[in-house]
Structure 1
Amino acid sequence: MNLSPASACPDTPEKADTAQLIRILLAQDLGTRKFPFSEVIHSATGKQVLPLSKENSAHAVLLEKVNAAARATVVKLNAQDSPVRKLRRINEASRYFEDGILEYLNAEDDITCEIPKNAKGNEQRSGYPDLLITHTAADGTVTRAYLDPKLFEEKSRSSSLRTFYYEPREHTNKIQYDALHLLIGISHDGNNQAWTFTGWEICDLSHFHVRLKAEFQASNKDLYRPNIIKSTGKKP
């Protein structure tokens, strides 16, 4: 009896599910759709992204303190002996801005700043967001804000290349509170290893939109496996 390829090798339920999922993902055209960041956060964490209002006195105070901390950090990291000038890549300087802003905010009486804890209760540096700021007003009102420092070269301010991403994961979720979500973009002149930081902009992410980049990916560990490698060679 002759069998067609389809009947000779029927799909397992797992393969059928994979094929269906791939077709669904492709049909969504995810690369062109935009999603409200506030809805992404709420769907992934159950927490609200609160809008920043300068009419809210607690928000105004928090914004003023963040600006002051940014100003002090920029001055420090623009100094001739700045540790940033020893770095090979400007992206490595983000950590210094995180630490500087954290230090200056913690010097304030009514504000604390910390590395956010993940769902397991552990401080976690990697991933969005980088800092958690808590302001306690005289009447006991508590205002929280997540702050994410980013660096950008002045001339690339309008670039369309990806510079921000958020990857929701249950066990490493760092968003544990309803809070403001702020991004502080620090600009620099692009003078390699002699960078001068020229200013900053604080963005309210409550009305921010993001795109989902769906990609099939693998690591070197996945690629260079005995069952995949068919030929090797060494430099003579």
Structure 2
Amino acid sequence: MCGAKCFAQEHGTTPANPARAPVDELTPWLLDEDRQLRGIPFSEVILDATGKHVLAVDLKNETDQYVIKQISAACDEIMKRMNAPDSVIQHTPRINEVSGHFEDTLGELLNSAPGLSCDFPQTAENRLMRSGYPDLRIVDIASKRIFYLDPKLYATGSRDSTFRTFYFEPKITTNKVRDDAVHFIVGFEHEPRGKNGLWKFTRWDLVDLARFKVKLKAEFQGSNRDMYRPEAIVARSAK
């Protein structure tokens, strides 16, 4: 989206050489590291992709104070539950498979909080889709103010890592950001899985994304279906 804008501004909507395909113009531009899109305000990405505004938290606002208090209580409770030896996640070997339990439990806890409703956001086609940003949609019933919440799990020692952990892919039909809203990330830190096979979560942080900045990573993709076309296979095993 932003990449297309910058590319169009620099190259125009029509390639300088009509004989060259658009990809011939785009690829050298992507290879120029000095032109990589970095430090893009997430709020601008959301506005351009969805037409919706990212609202900043107002710590003096009673509604925001209340919602933060309820999210905080839910985070404390979920850490207590997940750290219990008999928790369902203690039988889950991969941390990636644990995140779904956090989403489900946070949603249940927040939906039961007085004055709040919480559910999984629906797409532009009014379909429920668990994958993609954001994971949860919270509504303060009295004010109708909306908050998006996206839980993240990260290992102790990786807090300052530059490895990509946040993704937002602009789409039209599967867009789940359909409101002007406050956008939160809640990060849960966990220790490496112990010799006893148990997960232990040690802290959480609630982050306001109003001033969050992202960068664009452009890549060319292909599926197995794209690769393993019968006409492209030149040799195969006997069986």
Residue 25 of structure 1 deviates from its aligned partner by: 3.9
Residue 31 of structure 1 deviates from its aligned partner by: 4.2
1:95 aligns with 2:95: no
Match of 1:195 among 180, 196, 199: 199
What letter matches 2:230 in structure 1? P
Query: What residue number does 1:145 align with?
Result: 147
Query: What residue number does 1:117 align with?
Result: 122
Runs (5+) with no aligned partner, structure 1: 1-12
TM-aligned CA distance change 1:88 to 1:31, over 3 Å: farther
SS at the partner of 1:156?
Answer: coil
1:186 aligns with 2:191: no
1:225 and 1:29 map into 2 onto residues whose CA distance is: 37
TM-aligned CA distance change 1:163 to 1:85, over 3 Å: same
Residue 16 of structure 1 deviates from its aligned partner by: 1.9
1:229 aligns with 2:233: yes
Match of 2:214 among 207, 210, 217: 210
Query: What residue number does 1:158 align with?
Result: 160
| 8 Å CA contact 2:30, 2:36 repeated in 1 | no
Residue 26 of structure 1 deviates from its aligned partner by: 3.9
Higher alpha-carbon deviation: 209-218 or 225-234: 225-234
1:220 and 1:135 map into 2 onto residues whose CA distance is: 44
| 8 Å CA contact 1:94, 1:151 repeated in 2 | yes
Runs (5+) with no aligned partner, structure 2: 1-17
| 8 Å CA contact 1:187, 1:200 repeated in 2 | yes
SS at the partner of 2:148?
Answer: strand
| 8 Å CA contact 2:188, 2:205 repeated in 1 | yes
Higher alpha-carbon deviation: 57-66 or 220-229: 220-229
Match of 1:44 among 41, 49, 53: 49
SS at the partner of 1:117?
Answer: coil
1:59 aligns with 2:64: yes
Whichever of the two has the greater Rg, that structure is: 1
Residue 164 of structure 1 deviates from its aligned partner by: 0.8
| 8 Å CA contact 2:29, 2:35 repeated in 1 | no
1:103 and 1:132 map into 2 onto residues whose CA distance is: 12
SS at the partner of 1:142?
Answer: coil
Residue 52 of structure 1 deviates from its aligned partner by: 0.9
The alignment yields a C-alpha RMSD, in angstroms, of 2.0
1:131-173 deviation per Cα after TM superposition (whole angstroms, max 9, x unaligned): 0000123xxx221100000000111111111111000100000
Query: What residue number does 2:178 align with?
Result: 176
SS at the partner of 1:227?
Answer: helix
2:19 and 2:96 map into 1 onto residues whose CA distance is: 41
TM-score (norm 2): 0.86
| 8 Å CA contact 2:192, 2:199 repeated in 1 | yes
2:35 and 2:61 map into 1 onto residues whose CA distance is: 37
Higher alpha-carbon deviation: 185-194 or 29-38: 29-38
